[in-house]
């Protein structure tokens, strides 16, 4: 599972909540690209969209 490090204040928007781009619930958190998203939602999205290595 992906674990993001969002301890930086850059991931908090003090201007207020906006709907998460994944679950649509309000959040003051922002992605590296400035999109409103919960950390947990972002981690789940990364896991779901990361190509898996073939096991042989």
Q: Are 46 and 3 in contact (CB under 8 A)?
A: no
- pLDDT value of position 50: 87
Digit-coded pLDDT (tens) for 28-43: 999 999 999 999 999 9
> Average pLDDT for residues 41-52, to the nearest whole number?
91
Is the confidence at residue 54, as pLDDT, over 70? Answer: no
Q: Are 16 and 28 in contact (CB under 8 A)?
A: yes
How many C-beta atoms surround the C-beta of residue 10 within 10 A?
10
Torsion sign across C-alpha atoms 5, 22, 25, 20: positive
> Average pLDDT for residues 22-26, to the nearest whole number?
98
Is the confidence at residue 56, as pLDDT, over 80? Answer: no
pTM confidence score: 0.84
Name the β-bridge partners of 18.
27
- pLDDT value of position 2: 80
34: exposed, middle or buried (C-beta count within 10 Å: 0-12, 13-18, 19+)? exposed
């Amino acid at each position: 599972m992906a674990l993001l490090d969002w301890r930086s204040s850059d991931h908090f928007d003090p201007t207020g909540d906006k709907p998460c781009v994944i679950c649509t619930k309000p959040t003051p958190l922002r992605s590296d690209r400035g999109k409103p998203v919960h950390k947990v939602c972002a981690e789940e999205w990364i896991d779901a969209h990361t190509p898996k290595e073939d096991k042989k």
